[in-house]
Structure 1
Amino acid sequence: MSDRASDVRRPRPGVRAWPLYVGGFLGPYASTMVTPMVHEVAVGLRTTPEVAAAAVTTYMFPFAAVMLVSGTLAERWGRARTMQVSLLAFVVACGCCVLAPTIEWFLAARALQGVTNAFTTPLLVAAITDLVPRAGLGRALGFFAGMQAAGQAASPLVSGPSAVLDWRLAFAFPALVAVVLALLPPTMTAGPRRTGPPPVRALLNRNLALACGLSFLCYLAAVGLTVLAILRAESDFGLGPWQRGLLAAAFGVAGLATAPLLGRRLDALGPLRTGVLMNVLLAIGLLVAALGPSVLLLGTGIAVVGIAVTGLRTTVNAIAATSTEGNRAGAASLALSFQFFGGALAPLVWVPLHAGAGPVGFAATALAPVAALVLLAGYRGGPRGWVRRTHEELDLPAGTRRT
C-alpha cells in the first residue's frame, strides 16, 4: 500500500481523531440500553414492563425530532462548544436516570438523554467529513458506522449483566464514556467559511432528500428485524433471555467486523453502487431471518442485516454530509433524524403485521429495501462523479489508480 493511500485513511497529524469515532458509540448504545433490563426497571420503579418499555420510545422520538435542527443550530453556536456542553448534559441525564424515584422521572430523564445525544452524532459525521480527504472518506465513515454497530452490540452485553446486580449500574458505562470525551474532546472543525448563519435553504437538495429517504427505510427495516427476530426466537425456538441477547448481538458484531471493508467498497464503488448492493443484501438477510427454518439461519439473517445496515449507514452519511457544503452538520443531522424516525415507527408497523400474518408479516420487512432501490434511481452523480471528486481533492490526474 502506498503512503498516499494510507494517508487518506486518517486526518492530518496533530488532529485528535479517535474521540470522533468513540462518540459514534453513544447514540445506538443509549437508544437500546433499557431493552435487556425492562423487567428489572419495572420492578425497581414499581410499574409494569409495558410502561418501562416506553423508555426506548421516549429516547428515540426526542432524539430524532431534535436532530431535525440540531446540526444547523450547532453550526451557528460553534461545533466544539456544542459538543462539550451536550456531552456534559448527557452525563447529567444519566445521573437523573440513576436517581429517578418514579417511572415518570425516569422517562423524562431518558428523553433528556435523547435530546443531548441529538447534538453529538451529526457533529461527529460533519467533523469526519471535513477532516478526512474525500479519497478516504468511505473508510473513515465505515469505521464510524462500525463504532455505531459496536454500540448496538454492546448494549445487551453490558446492560443485561449490570441488571443482575442493579439496573441503575448500567448507566455508569455510557456516562463514563461521555466524561472521557468531554475531558479529551475531538478536534472539531468550524466547517466551511461563511458570513452569517448557516444556510437552511441549502438543505433543500435532491441528494439530501435521497439520504433522508434511504436512512428512514434502512432503520424501518433494521429495527423491525431486531424486534421480530427476538419474538421469533422465543415463540418458534424457545430461546431464553441470554440466548436471545447473544442472538441480537450478532447484528452489531457482524457490522463492526465488516465496517472497514464496507468503507473501502464505498471509496471504490461510490454511493450509488454501494447503496444498491447493500439494499439487495438487506432484503436477502431479512428474508432469511423471517423464513429460515433453524436458529442458525435466523442468526445468519440477523448478521447479514447487520452488515447491510452498517454499509448503508456509511453510504447515507457520505451522501448527506457531502450534499450541503455550507451546512454539513445540518445535513448530517437531518438524515440521522429520519433514520431514528424510521426506527421509532418500525414496531408500530411490523409487530401488528407479524402478529396477524406470521412469517409472511416478518418477510414483509423486505419491502423497505425494495423501496430504497427505487429511490436510488434518483441519485445525482454516481460512482464516476465520486471518483472524479476524489482525484481532484488529491490533485491526481484523472485515471490514476490508488494502490
Structure 2
Amino acid sequence: MTGRVRAAALYAGGFLGPFAGAVPTSMFPELGAEFGVADHTASLSLTAYLVPFAALMLFSGTLGARWGAGRSVRVAYLVYVVASVGCVVAGSFEVFLVARAVQGGANAFTTPLLLAAIGAVTPRERLGRALGLFGALQAAGTTSAPLLGGLAAEVDWAWAFVAVGATAAVLAVVGLPSSLRAPSGESHRLRSVWRADVLRPAAVALVGWACLGGMAFMVALRAVDEFGLGAAQRGALLTGFGVFGLLSAHAVGRSIDRLGPRRAVVLGAVAGAVPVVLVGVLPWIPAMAAVWALAGMTTQFVQVGLNTLILSDPGPNRAGALSVVLAFRFFGGAAAPPAFTPIYQADPVAGFVIPAALLVLVVPPAMRRRR
C-alpha cells in the first residue's frame, strides 16, 4: 500500500473521531424510541463517549507511543469496529452506553498518535498548515455528524454506526506510514509529560476551549432568553462556528507557520475575546451569528497553535505531551457549563465578559517563553 494512501489515512482518522462522537446528536428521539428512554436520557450517549475519551487521553498518548504508534492505532481502530457493532446490536440502553464508552476510549488512543505521526513526517516549517488541515477535518467531522446522523436516522439510526465501524475497519487495514509502525526508542514515561512546558499549554487549552468553543451552550441560552429562537434556529446559529472553523483551518495553519505557534495562540485568544463579548450583547441575530462564526476561526488559532507548539518541541514523549494538552482541552469544555451558567443567570452580560477577560488575562502570560 502506498505511503500516500497511509498519509491520507492520518487525516481521515482526524475526521472519524469527532464524527463518531457527535453522530448521536440529531437522533436522540430515535434512540429514545429504540431503547424506551426519554430524549434527555438518550443524550447520555454523548457523555458516555466524551468522558472516557478525555480521561484516558491523560496517558493514552504515552502508552500508545510506548507500545508502538502503528500497532496501537491499528488495535484502537479494531476496538472501534467491535464497539460500533456493539452499538448496532445493543439490546438495552445500558449496553449501548457501554459500547459508546468503548468507542470514546479507543478514540483516545488514535487522536494524539495520529497528530504525533503527522508531526513526525512533516517538516517543521510546514507543520502549522499540516495540523491546520487535520483541524479542518476534525471540524468537518463535528459539523457534519448531526446532519449525516439525522439522515441515517430517517431510515435507521443503526446505519450511522455501521458506517463508523466500516470506516474504522478500512483505516485499520491501511495503518500508519511504515516509519511509524514500531517504537521509536524515545523515552515514553508517564511522568515525562508532567512538566511546566507541557502544563502551561495544557492550562491554555483548558481556558481557551472553555471560553471559546465551550461557550456554545451560552450562545444557545441567550438565543432562547433574548430572541426566543426554536431548536432548529439555534442549531443554524451555532453551526456557523464549526463551518467557519472548517473553512479557515488551513489558512490558519499557514499563518501559524509564519507567526510561530506562541504568537498565534495569543492572537487567537485575544482576538477571540472580542466575538465572545459581542455575541453576548448584540441585539440583532444576523450580527450575533456572524461574530459567533468568527469565533470559530479564532479558536482554530488556539487549537492548531497549541498542537504545533507541542509537536515542534524537541522534548521527550511528544505524543504523551500532546495527549495531556488535548485532555485538558476537553476538561475545559466540560467545566464551562457549571462555571459560567451561574454567572449568566446572575448577570447575562457578565456571563460573556468574564470568559472573554479570562482569555486576555490568562493566555498571553502562559504563552510567554520561559528561560
Over the matched positions of the two proteins, sequence identity in percent amounts to 38
Q: Is the 8 Å Cα contact of residues 94 and 172 (structure 1) preserved in structure 2?
A: yes
Partners of 2:316 and 2:351 in 1: how far apart?
Answer: 43
Query: CA shift at 1:343, angstroms?
Result: 1.5
- Among 96, 103, 109, the alignment partner of 1:119 is 109
- Among 177, 181, 194, the alignment partner of 1:187 is 177
Instruction: Encode CA deviations 1:299-322: one digit per residue, 9 max, x unaligned.
Output: 112211211111211111112223
* 2:77 corresponds to 1:87: yes
Secondary structure at the aligned position of 1:25 is classed as helix
Query: CA shift at 1:226, angstroms?
Result: 1.8
Q: Which residue of 1 aligns with 2:255?
A: 265
Q: Go from structure 1 to structure 2 and tell me whether the alpha carbon gap of 1:45 and 1:255 turns closer, same or farther (over 3 Å shift).
A: same
Q: Which residue of 1 aligns with 2:121?
A: 131
- Among 38, 55, 68, the alignment partner of 1:65 is 55
Query: CA shift at 1:100, angstroms?
Result: 2.2
Instruction: Encode CA deviations 1:274-321: one digit per residue, 9 max, x unaligned.
Output: 111100122112122222212212211221121111121111111222
Q: Go from structure 1 to structure 2 and tell me whether the alpha carbon gap of 1:228 and 1:43 turns closer, same or farther (over 3 Å shift).
A: farther
Q: Go from structure 1 to structure 2 and tell me whether the alpha carbon gap of 1:190 and 1:96 turns closer, same or farther (over 3 Å shift).
A: closer
Q: Go from structure 1 to structure 2 and tell me whether the alpha carbon gap of 1:22 and 1:372 turns closer, same or farther (over 3 Å shift).
A: farther
Partners of 2:157 and 2:349 in 1: how far apart?
Answer: 34
Query: Where do 1:361-372 residues align within 5 Å?
Result: 361-372=351-362
Partners of 2:3 and 2:43 in 1: how far apart?
Answer: 45
Q: Go from structure 1 to structure 2 and tell me whether the alpha carbon gap of 1:13 and 1:25 turns closer, same or farther (over 3 Å shift).
A: closer
* 2:102 corresponds to 1:102: no
Q: Which residue of 2 aligns with 1:248?
A: 238
Q: Go from structure 1 to structure 2 and tell me whether the alpha carbon gap of 1:24 and 1:58 turns closer, same or farther (over 3 Å shift).
A: same
Q: Go from structure 1 to structure 2 and tell me whether the alpha carbon gap of 1:74 and 1:273 turns closer, same or farther (over 3 Å shift).
A: same
Q: Is the 8 Å Cα contact of residues 272 and 376 (structure 1) preserved in structure 2?
A: no
* 2:43 corresponds to 1:53: yes
Q: Which residue of 2 aligns with 1:397?
A: none
Q: List structure 1 segments (4+ residues) > 4 angstroms apart after TM superposition.
A: 12-15, 190-193
Opposite residue 299 of structure 1, the aligned amino acid is: A
Partners of 1:81 and 1:335 in 2: how far apart?
Answer: 23
- Among 238, 263, 267, the alignment partner of 1:277 is 267
TM-score, L = length of structure 1: 0.84
- Among 7, 16, 28, the alignment partner of 2:18 is 28
Query: CA shift at 1:112, angstroms?
Result: 0.9
Query: CA shift at 1:42, angstroms?
Result: 2.2
Query: CA shift at 1:193, angstroms?
Result: 4.3
Query: CA shift at 1:176, angstroms?
Result: 3.0
In the alignment, structure 2 segments of 5+ residues that lack a partner are: none
Q: Which residue of 1 aligns with 2:289?
A: 299
Q: Is the 8 Å Cα contact of residues 49 and 104 (structure 2) preserved in structure 1?
A: yes
Query: CA shift at 1:86, angstroms?
Result: 0.4
Opposite residue 261 of structure 1, the aligned amino acid is: A
Task: Calculate the aligned-residue CA RMSD, in Å.
Answer: 2.4
Q: Go from structure 1 to structure 2 and tell me whether the alpha carbon gap of 1:300 and 1:44 turns closer, same or farther (over 3 Å shift).
A: same
Query: CA shift at 1:371, angstroms?
Result: 4.0
Opposite residue 168 of structure 1, the aligned amino acid is: A
Q: Go from structure 1 to structure 2 and tell me whether the alpha carbon gap of 1:329 and 1:56 turns closer, same or farther (over 3 Å shift).
A: same
Q: Is the 8 Å Cα contact of residues 59 and 114 (structure 1) preserved in structure 2?
A: yes
Opposite residue 6 of structure 2, the aligned amino acid is: R
Secondary structure at the aligned position of 2:212 is classed as helix
Query: CA shift at 1:128, angstroms?
Result: 0.8
Q: Looking at secondary structure, tell me which structure has more helix per residue.
A: 2
Q: Is the 8 Å Cα contact of residues 207 and 379 (structure 1) preserved in structure 2?
A: no
Query: CA shift at 1:28, angstroms?
Result: 2.2
Q: Go from structure 1 to structure 2 and tell me whether the alpha carbon gap of 1:234 and 1:38 turns closer, same or farther (over 3 Å shift).
A: farther
Query: CA shift at 1:359, angstroms?
Result: 4.0
Query: CA shift at 1:191, angstroms?
Result: 8.0
Instruction: Encode CA deviations 1:213-244: one digit per residue, 9 max, x unaligned.
Output: 11111221234322222333344334333333
Q: Which residue of 2 aligns with 1:173?
A: 163
In the alignment, structure 1 segments of 5+ residues that lack a partner are: 1-11, 382-403
Q: Is the 8 Å Cα contact of residues 266 and 364 (structure 2) preserved in structure 1?
A: no
* 2:313 corresponds to 1:323: yes
* Mean CA deviation greater in 313-322 or 14-23: 14-23
